[in-house]
Amino acid sequence: MSARGATPLRCDRLVKRFGDVTAIDRLDLHLDAGEVVALIGLNGAGKTTFMRLALAMIRPDGGTASVFGRNVATAGPDRWRAVGQMIETPFAYPELTVAENLWAAARLHGLSRSQAPGSVTWVIERLGLGGYADRRSSALSLGNRQRLGLASALVHSPRLLILDEPTSALDPAGVVLLRDLVQEAARTGAAVLVSSHHLDEVARVADRVEVIHRGRLVGELPPRGLDLEHAFFEMVRAADLDATESSALGGSSEEVH
Amino acid sequence: MRAAFAVELLKLRRSRVMLATTLTVLLAPALLASAFASAAGQPGADPVTVKARAMLPGTGWEGYVSALAQVFATAGLVGMGFGVAWCFGREYADRTIVSLYASATPRTAIAAAKLVLLTLWAVSIAVVLGPTAVLIGLATGLGPPDADAVAALSRIVVLAMLTGLLALIVAIFASVGRGYLVAFGGLIGLVVAAQVAVLAGIGAWFPLSSPALWAMADPALGSVSGAQLALVPIASSAVALSTVAWWRRAPLD
């Protein structure tokens, strides 16, 4: 199957265990082109672990993840060049300037020597990093380091973008900028998966909001709903109640711990 | 591979750690050897002078070059190993390793580029080490080196190249240990293993010690054959391939 036209991200019954703890429990998630999906959950719900599985950073104990139709375990450069990600730590080598970091990210993401400089100029301008282009990333504030990480994820115009807590260190202007960038990427056909604690922010940008709790997707919320926060906690509480009842009745063999 | 090579080269060029390591490896052993040679040539019986005389076969260029071979055998491995530990451990230590996953450039290419560049770095240090040692010798009043000294310095240049290859072994420690600490521990282990092999009388067959024994050319320590020296690139190549294989498969958990 060719990369173009294939589902950008498809995860089927993914399972990941760390010792006795089932961090991801039979999780299914599909992302279509042009779709923005928000993944929300409490701390430790499994958001980052799921994203790491989807990007082949860790190996699943069950199930499969594929990008553009190819299992991530065997996906090659042709698939990964269409993927941008920012998980945990931004792409920011402290000894390099902002422009050099972005050039490095562009080259590693598959842009040629001739393509990279133009893309770096574009993304520096788009992320508002012009005043910092020649500054070492070690001298940046936390927020600007996060902008640099986002710029590194976007510099090659990916068709699948996976962002873990991208607004955690951004100022309000940065949050608005990120929202514009995500919507712009989706308009041009990119699929975007974003995790966040900021439910109001998620509501503004997502087409679909998936709730993850104890490693399982426990439901979907309407992003334009009246009280997303209330609905989220209701869903989490109901999931806990189900788990308790299931446990009292003997539980399943793959029960979430 | 080209992208990985270009990016790794940029990181090395911009690194203050690698600059400081390069200068230390180039200058510290030669300056220390010069100090030893100078002490050995002093009259009197203070402890440093007595120890230096016992270590060195003579004074002047002969003593200086012999001291340099002895010092570089250990200090060179430690210094170059430090550089390798930094190069392979830094992504794990500062967590930029996460950015190297899900990328169009395979991690095997990144690891291979690091190994190639570190080999070139070691060769560059080796090539510059000879003239640097001569300049320090001239600056300390030893006068122009004679033919024997030039031959001995040539051996030290080869020793530095082989030491650079041996230092690549540290890459597997930094990779499997995911950072600097295990790498530094492994480096100390390599230095100790080399000393133990010499004391056990198998130094000529042990890749970690054979280059130093060959460079010192001390009949009391025995001779080292070309076949024995050839074990150095074989051993370091095997470890380098293992390191690349590790980078291909290693998950982040």
Closest CA to A66 of A22, A109, A3: A3
Considering the domain boundaries, does residue A251 fall inside one?
yes
Distance, C-alpha B157 to centroid of its chain = 11
Would you state the pLDDT for residue B50?
A: 80
Residues of A in contact with B11 (CB under 8 A): 93, 95-96, 104
Instruction: Tell me how far apart the 2 most distant CA atoms of chain A are, in Å.
Output: 63
Determine contact: B249 vs chain A, CB below 8 A: no
Q: Which of A59, A80, A93, A138 is most worth mutating to test chain B (most B CB atoms within 10 A of its CB)?
A: A93
Residue B124: both structure tokens together:
């560059």
Residues of A in contact with B16 (CB under 8 A): 95
Considering the domain boundaries, does residue A236 fall inside one?
yes
Determine contact: A91 vs chain B, CB below 8 A: yes
Exposure string of B147-185, with b = 16+ CB inside 10 Å and e = fewer, is eebeebbebbbebbbbbbbbbbbbbbbbbebbbbebbbe
The model's pLDDT over B48-94, given as tens digits with 9 standing for 90+, comes to 788 878 777 778 899 999 999 999 999 999 999 999 999 999 999 99
- Taking the CA of residue B250 and the nearest CA in chain A, the distance in Å comes to 9
- Tokens 């391939």 correspond to B241
Nearest neighbour of A95 by CB, restricted to B6, B14, B251: B14
Q: Which residue of A has its CA nearest to B92?
A: A89
Q: What CA–CA distance (Å, rounded) separates A69 from A66?
A: 6
Determine contact: A96 vs chain B, CB below 8 A: yes
- Taking the CA of residue B102 and the nearest CA in chain A, the distance in Å comes to 5
- Taking the CA of residue B20 and the nearest CA in chain A, the distance in Å comes to 14
Question: Domain span at residue A224?
Answer: 1-82+188-257
Under an 8 A CB cutoff, do A96 and B11 touch? Answer: yes
Q: Which residue of B has its CA nearest to A81?
A: B104
Considering the domain boundaries, does residue A144 fall inside one?
no
Residues of B in contact with A77 (CB under 8 A): 104-106
Amino acid code (one letter) for B123: V
Residues of B in contact with A85 (CB under 8 A): 101-102
Q: How many CA atoms lie within 13 A of B58 on its CB side?
A: 8
Considering the domain boundaries, does residue A76 fall inside one?
yes
Instruction: Tell me how far apart the 2 most distant CA atoms of chain B are, in Å.
Output: 67
Would you state the pLDDT for residue A256?
A: 38
Q: Are strands A9-18 and A62-67 parallel, antiparallel or unpaired?
A: antiparallel
Determine contact: B98 vs chain A, CB below 8 A: yes
Considering the domain boundaries, does residue A226 fall inside one?
yes
Helix (H, G, I), strand (E, B) or coil at A118: helix
Neighbours of A173 (CB within 10 A): 10
The model's pLDDT over A201-252, given as tens digits with 9 standing for 90+, comes to 888 889 999 999 999 999 998 887 768 888 888 898 988 888 887 777 665 4
Considering the domain boundaries, does residue A118 fall inside one?
no
Q: Which runs of consecutive H residues, i.e. helices, occur in chain B? A: 2-14, 16-40, 47-55, 60-93, 107-139, 147-167, 170-176, 180-199, 210-216, 226-249
Considering the domain boundaries, does residue A238 fall inside one?
yes
- Report chain B (253 residues): mean pLDDT per 10 consecutive residues: 94 96 96 88 79 80 92 95 96 92 96 97 96 94 92 94 96 95 95 93 92 84 88 96 94 78
Determine contact: A81 vs chain B, CB below 8 A: yes
Q: Which of A21, A80, A95, A120 is most worth mutating to test chain B (most B CB atoms within 10 A of its CB)?
A: A95
Determine contact: B253 vs chain A, CB below 8 A: yes
Determine contact: A105 vs chain B, CB below 8 A: yes
Domain count, chain A: 1
Return the DSSP state at A162. E
Would you state the pLDDT for residue B181?
A: 93
What does the DSSP assignment read for B101-145?
SS-SS-HHHHHHHHHHHHHHHHHHHHHHHHHHHHHHHHHTT--S-
Q: Which residue of B has its CA nearest to A18?
A: B253
In A32-79, beta strands by DSSP E = 36-40, 62-67, 70-71
Residue A10: both structure tokens together:
């498809």
Nearest neighbour of B6 by CB, restricted to A80, A107, A110: A107
Ordered per-residue pLDDT tens for chain A, 257 residues: 556 678 999 999 999 999 999 999 999 999 999 999 999 999 999 999 999 999 999 999 999 999 999 999 999 999 999 999 999 889 999 999 999 999 999 999 999 999 999 999 999 999 999 999 999 999 999 999 999 999 999 999 999 999 999 988 888 899 999 999 999 999 999 999 999 877 888 888 899 999 999 999 999 988 877 688 888 888 989 888 888 877 776 654 444 33
Phi/psi at B133 (nearest 5 deg)? -65, -40
Size of interface A-B (CB pairs under 8 A): 79
Considering the domain boundaries, does residue A71 fall inside one?
yes
- Tokens 């030290």 correspond to B156
What is the length of chain B? 253
In A19-159, beta strands by DSSP E = 21-31, 36-40, 62-67, 70-71, 83-86
- Supply the Cα-derived Rg of chain A in whole angstroms: 19
Under an 8 A CB cutoff, do A80 and B6 touch? Answer: no
Determine contact: B178 vs chain A, CB below 8 A: no
Under an 8 A CB cutoff, do A105 and B106 touch? Answer: no
Would you state the pLDDT for residue B221?
A: 73
Residues of A in contact with B101 (CB under 8 A): 55-57, 85
